[in-house]
Structure formats: structure tokens, C-alpha cells
Chain A
Amino acid sequence: MTPGAPGAGRTALATAAAVRSGRLKAAEVLEEHLAAIRARETELHAFNLVLEDRARAEAAGVDEAVAAGRDPGRLAGITVALKDNLCTRGVETTCSSRILEGWRPPYDATVVTRLRQEGAVVVGKTNLDEFAMGSSTENSAFGPTRNPHDPTRVPGGSSGGSAAAVAAGFAGLALGSDTGGSIRQPAALCGVVGLKPTYGLVSRYGLIAFASSLDQIGPFAGTVADAALLLEVIAGHDPMDSTSLDAPPPSLLEGLDGGVEGLRVGIVSELMNGVEPTAAAAVEAAAGALSAAGAKVDRVSVPAAIYGLSAYYLIAPAEASSNLARYDGVRYGLRAEAPGGSADVAAMFAATRAAGFGDEVKRRIMLGTYALSAGYYDAYYGQAQRVRTLIIRDFDAAYRSSDVLLSPTTPGPAFELEAKTSDPLAMYLSDVCTIPTNLAGHPAVTVPWWPEGSSLPLGVQVLAPALGEAVMLRAAAAIEAGAPPAPSAPGGGS
């Protein structure tokens, strides 16, 4: 969190405790965040929509419950920002796309229902790369989000709005979605904690689909403990998502400060190659902190990880080309008239999609259509699926000698706006360290790491095997405790 930002000195856990005990009003907490939004939102553009009136009503409801002696829940009075690909009933949900502009979903995502049940206050819907396709939030149809630590730079993406909202103190917590790194990469570039859960741990009901075998919803927070709190609330089986794991929700906060004595930590050699020296140095320093705390650090190899990026950019577009076929101008969103007044339904489909989708979405739909087309299916999509098997095998082998793995979250710090917009491949490379996790379906978390003297944060990524969130967070908490302090003067002022 940006030093000096409202709520910077108070974790979400502390906020909820104070609100539940009546020492702090949810209304006061909300007004602090709304003041921060008024001060910097025009500059940063983290939100597509700020729900000022609704949030005030929700906060008042929390305060009334406390006054009446009822417990509002574990997130009492905590402001939460939602990535604008999470459905909110009656509240515009756009995916930052013209094709869904003005759409009001007829239902809430399961995660939104769970937030409300625990007393959270939803403060707004955050900007993203259109349909979560991008690594800088520059692919939004409504304009880019800027990095709170340096507004000439990107916040990362695709959940750039959620990362910036937490970093700028616009919200105490946020939710995003991570298909190839879309939570962890922006969290790293904005200096906050971001976590992608095990595939199936969090219900995807009401998350607008991008690549269904990879997508997971996860938390952004100022601290590792706050991320654990939010994950505990949103995790758990949901009959509305057939890929939801039928397992009891994990207990994460308990034992979080248990330390790392004897923990086996492996630095992934393949993910240290080709990154900027500062990113590699941050991982070495974090490993040093773990080692000092009693962990046993080694180098490990996940050889197939080097093929992750190529496999991902076949699998994710293939699934996207299928998922995004639903935007046809019939049931929701935009409908465009075919040129020349053609009354043909297929011409209407093509005109609607041409007018409603931005460049990156069009590129990925075509790439996916190609990868799935007759004659190329096995060479591209089939091969990518086999690589996915190799990556899972190599991770399984690495986890025989390590409890958790360590890598940079990104190859370097936040880049300047427009630095990579004309070269999609260069943009894709910023997800090289995060993608293997999604292909394997494993969890991973990024912890902020500020190199000494730098005004821009980096992230150290902790990876764990499926359902290894508890040990992963314990290691993350130890890294957080050993990390250098954030600079006292934030780059963008506050």
C-alpha cells in the first residue's frame, strides 16, 4: 500500500476487528477511501464505476448491525473493489469492452455474495484489459489505468485497476482474476500482495469467462494476512460451478505466523533466466530472508516451464475463441447493424463483433480459431496440451524435494505506458514467470519487494502444489517480514 495513503497504517484485519467491536464506524472507513478516490482517481483511473451511494448504504447497514448487537461478519466495514469482469446484479459489468457497455447482470457472482454475507462494502468496479486479455490495462476500451507509484507507468494487467485501487488506498481489499498472471503481475508492479488460488478452490460462477481451464478469482491486499483473510471468505465449494472443488474451505490465518523452520524452498532456475538483474536479486534476497528464518534453500529445475508461454498463447486464445462466441448481439450488450442495411443474421453477428471488440480481443479470437482449426489442431492446440502435461510432471518432480518454490513474479518493474502496445509478443513476455502456475492449476502468491533505493516495487513469487495455500502463505508471511521497507515518499504523491 502507498505509504501515507488512507488506511495505510491499518490492515483490513484491524479494520474489521475495530468495526465489529464498535470502536470504528464502517461509514468512517468508507469516507476515508472515498476521499482518496476523489483526490487521485482522475489521475489514475482505477475504476470503471465508483458505487458511492450503494457503498454508503452498505456501510450504514454494517454500522446498524453492530449497533443492534449483531455481528456483520469477518469483513465488517472493509471496502472491497471488484474487477469489472465479476457480475454484480443490477450494476453495470463491462469487462472494459464496448460489447458489454451498459450491461446489468441479472445475478451476483458467488464471490460477491460471499463478500456481502461477511459485511464487506463494495466500493466500485475496477478497470481491466478488455476481457482480461493483456498485461498493462492499456487494452481497456475506457482508457488505461496508471501506476500509483509512477503515473507515467502501467499498473500491469489485466487486473490493473484492482491492484492500483489497493495500492492507492482506494479500497482495503480487491478481487481480480488470474488466467496467466493477471492478479500476480499487476500486484507486483503496484507493490501489493496478489494471490492466484488452486484451480477450483474459488467458484467461477459470475466471473465472465476468458479461458475456463485457467481462470481463477483471487485477492489483492496490502498484507499477506489480509490476502489470507479474503481467500478464506471466498474459497469453498459452490454447486453453481461444476469445476468447483468439493473440499472443505482451507484454514489459512491460523498458523500463518508459524515460521519456516525446516521448510524446503526451491528457487526455479528456469524462471531466473532472462529476467532483469534486479528481479533475480530480489528473489535471492527473499531466499536469504527465508534461510535466515530457518528454511533450507536450494536450486530446482522445472525444465518444461520454458515452454509455458508458447503453450499458454495457444491454449488461452483457443478457449477464448470459444467462450467469446456468445457475444453476438442477441442476448445482451451491443448490437451493430450490418453495413449496407443487410438483414442477414450472420452479417449482424460479424458487424457487432467488429464494432464491439478491441484489437487484442480480435487478435486472440483469431489466434484461437486458427489453433483449433482443421489441419492445425494437433500441431498447435494438441501440442500445447501435451506441454501442459510436461509442466505438471516437472512441477510434481520439483515438489518431491521442495515444499514451496520461489521465482520473480515479473521480469522487471512497471514499464512506461505505450512501451509495448505495438508489439503483442513483447507484452506477452511480461507473464513468462506467472503462466506455468496457471497451466498446472497450482496456487501462487506475490509478495512486494522494494529494491533498496528504487521508487518502483518488484514482486517475489511463492509457488506451491495444488491446495498448498497454507504452507505457501506461511512462506509468504516470512518473506514479508524480511522484506526491505517501502520508501517513505511514494512516487506519485498522495
Chain B
Amino acid sequence: MAHLARLTLTPEEIERFTAQLAAVLGHADDVAALDLAGVEPTAHPLPLINVLREDEVRPCLDRDEVMAQAPAAEDGRFRVPRILGEAP
């Protein structure tokens, strides 16, 4: 789970969280055990479908202001460590 969630955990954290999460999931077993065949799931409290706006150009966030908050930027773009295994 930690790998899927992109979290690096220490062995101590894994041990502690495993016990704590087991207790929470144990509590959730009452929900898992209910017979709810035929009950529609609710994903959201509002019956909204495809909220659209007019397709027109509008002002957006200031690019320099946004980039100024990035941990690393270069030439108006976000800079990240190498994504592919080999350098070009």
C-alpha cells in the first residue's frame, strides 16, 4: 500500500500503522458485512452531470506567480528529476 500511495515508510512506521489501520478496518467490517444488494451507491450528494461553461478565452492565473512557488523551475517550466532510466 505504501508503494501504491508513493510513501516511503520506516520499519517502525510500518509496524505501528499496520496495527492502527487493522483496528479501523475491523470497525469497517460492519459495513462490509451488510447485505446491500439492490442498493444504488451514492458517490456524491448532488445529482450533477457535466457542468460546462462557454468555451471562451478568459484570464487565468499569472504564470510567473505560479512558477515562483515551484520547488524547481526553468524557462517557465517545472523542473523534475530524470523520468526515464537512461540519460539521453
Give me the interface of A with B, judged by CB distance under 8 Å.
Answer: 103-107, 199-200, 213, 239, 242-243, 245, 307, 309-311, 313-314, 321, 325, 328-335, 338-339, 342-351, 353-354, 357, 359, 362-363, 365-367, 369-370, 373, 379-380, 382-390, 392, 423-425, 428, 440-441, 466
- Whether A357 and B23, one on each chain, are in contact in the complex, defined by CB atoms closer than 8 angstroms, is no
The CA-CA distance from A329 to B79 in the complex, in Å, is: 10
Q: Is B57 an interface residue (CB 8 A)?
A: no
- Whether B71 and A387, one on each chain, are in contact in the complex, defined by CB atoms closer than 8 angstroms, is no
Extra 5 A-B pairs, beta carbons < 8 Å, given A330-B78, A423-B23, A425-B24? A369-B1, A369-B5, A370-B1, A386-B42, A440-B45
Q: How large is the interface on B (under 10, 10 to 19, 20 to 34, 35 or more residues)?
A: 35 or more
How many A-B pairs have beta carbons closer than 8 Å: the answer is 164
- Whether A245 and B46, one on each chain, are in contact in the complex, defined by CB atoms closer than 8 angstroms, is yes
The CA-CA distance from A364 to B79 in the complex, in Å, is: 29
The CA-CA distance from A383 to B36 in the complex, in Å, is: 7
Closest to A424 in B: B20
The CA-CA distance from A353 to B5 in the complex, in Å, is: 9
| Shortest Cβ distance from residue A299 to the other chain B in the assembled complex, whole angstroms | 24
Complex interface: chain B residues within 8 A of A389 (CB): 39-42
Complex interface: chain A residues within 8 A of B20 (CB): 363, 423-425
6 contacting pairs across A/B (C-beta < 8 A)? A243-B44, A343-B81, A345-B83, A363-B20, A366-B21, A385-B42
Interface centre among A367, A384, A440 (most CB of B within 10 A): A367
- Whether B45 and A313, one on each chain, are in contact in the complex, defined by CB atoms closer than 8 angstroms, is no
Closest to B16 in A: A359
Complex interface: chain B residues within 8 A of A346 (CB): 6
Partner of B46, one of A243, A309, A328, A345: A243
- Whether A386 and B36, one on each chain, are in contact in the complex, defined by CB atoms closer than 8 angstroms, is yes
- Whether B24 and A350, one on each chain, are in contact in the complex, defined by CB atoms closer than 8 angstroms, is no
The CA-CA distance from A208 to B41 in the complex, in Å, is: 26
- Whether B61 and A366, one on each chain, are in contact in the complex, defined by CB atoms closer than 8 angstroms, is no
- Whether A344 and B82, one on each chain, are in contact in the complex, defined by CB atoms closer than 8 angstroms, is yes
Partner of A345, one of B34, B61, B62, B80: B80
- Whether B5 and A348, one on each chain, are in contact in the complex, defined by CB atoms closer than 8 angstroms, is no
- Whether A362 and B66, one on each chain, are in contact in the complex, defined by CB atoms closer than 8 angstroms, is no
- Whether A242 and B69, one on each chain, are in contact in the complex, defined by CB atoms closer than 8 angstroms, is no
Given A335-B71, A363-B21, A354 contacting B61 (CB threshold 8 A): no
Partner of A424, one of B6, B23, B41, B42: B23
| Shortest Cβ distance from residue B34 to the other chain A in the assembled complex, whole angstroms | 7
The CA-CA distance from A424 to B27 in the complex, in Å, is: 12
- Whether B28 and A310, one on each chain, are in contact in the complex, defined by CB atoms closer than 8 angstroms, is yes
Partner of A313, one of B24, B41, B69: B24
Give me the interface of B with A, judged by CB distance under 8 Å.
Answer: 1-9, 13, 17, 20-21, 23-25, 27-28, 30-32, 34, 36, 39-46, 48, 51, 53, 61-62, 65-66, 69-72, 78, 80-83
The CA-CA distance from A385 to B42 in the complex, in Å, is: 5
- Whether B46 and A388, one on each chain, are in contact in the complex, defined by CB atoms closer than 8 angstroms, is no
Partner of B81, one of A199, A245, A344: A344
- Whether A387 and B82, one on each chain, are in contact in the complex, defined by CB atoms closer than 8 angstroms, is no
Partner of B28, one of A329, A359, A380, A424: A380
Complex interface: chain A residues within 8 A of B53 (CB): 239
| Shortest Cβ distance from residue A376 to the other chain B in the assembled complex, whole angstroms | 9
Given A350-B7, A353-B7, A382 contacting B41 (CB threshold 8 A): yes
Cβ-closest 10 pairs across A and B = A441-B45, A385-B41, A335-B71, A242-B51, A354-B8, A388-B42, A386-B36, A106-B65, A386-B39, A310-B31
| Shortest Cβ distance from residue B69 to the other chain A in the assembled complex, whole angstroms | 5
Complex interface: chain A residues within 8 A of B66 (CB): 106, 331
| Shortest Cβ distance from residue B66 to the other chain A in the assembled complex, whole angstroms | 5
The CA-CA distance from A310 to B1 in the complex, in Å, is: 20
The CA-CA distance from A319 to B42 in the complex, in Å, is: 13
Partner of A199, one of B2, B28, B46: B46
Partner of A343, one of B9, B62, B82: B82
Partner of B43, one of A105, A213, A314, A332: A213
Given A313-B24, A379-B32, A424-B23, A366 contacting B72 (CB threshold 8 A): no
- Whether A348 and B36, one on each chain, are in contact in the complex, defined by CB atoms closer than 8 angstroms, is no
- Whether B31 and A387, one on each chain, are in contact in the complex, defined by CB atoms closer than 8 angstroms, is yes
| Shortest Cβ distance from residue B53 to the other chain A in the assembled complex, whole angstroms | 6
The CA-CA distance from A455 to B48 in the complex, in Å, is: 46
Complex interface: chain B residues within 8 A of A384 (CB): 28, 31
- Whether A321 and B5, one on each chain, are in contact in the complex, defined by CB atoms closer than 8 angstroms, is yes
- Whether A373 and B4, one on each chain, are in contact in the complex, defined by CB atoms closer than 8 angstroms, is yes
Complex interface: chain B residues within 8 A of A239 (CB): 53
Complex interface: chain B residues within 8 A of A245 (CB): 46
Closest to B53 in A: A239
Complex interface: chain A residues within 8 A of B1 (CB): 366, 369-370, 373
Complex interface: chain A residues within 8 A of B48 (CB): 242-243
Complex interface: chain B residues within 8 A of A354 (CB): 7-9
- Whether B17 and A366, one on each chain, are in contact in the complex, defined by CB atoms closer than 8 angstroms, is yes
- Whether B81 and A369, one on each chain, are in contact in the complex, defined by CB atoms closer than 8 angstroms, is no
Complex interface: chain B residues within 8 A of A379 (CB): 32
Given A199-B46, A330-B71, A390 contacting B39 (CB threshold 8 A): yes
| Shortest Cβ distance from residue A445 to the other chain B in the assembled complex, whole angstroms | 18
Partner of B7, one of A103, A199, A335, A365: A365
Complex interface: chain B residues within 8 A of A423 (CB): 20, 23
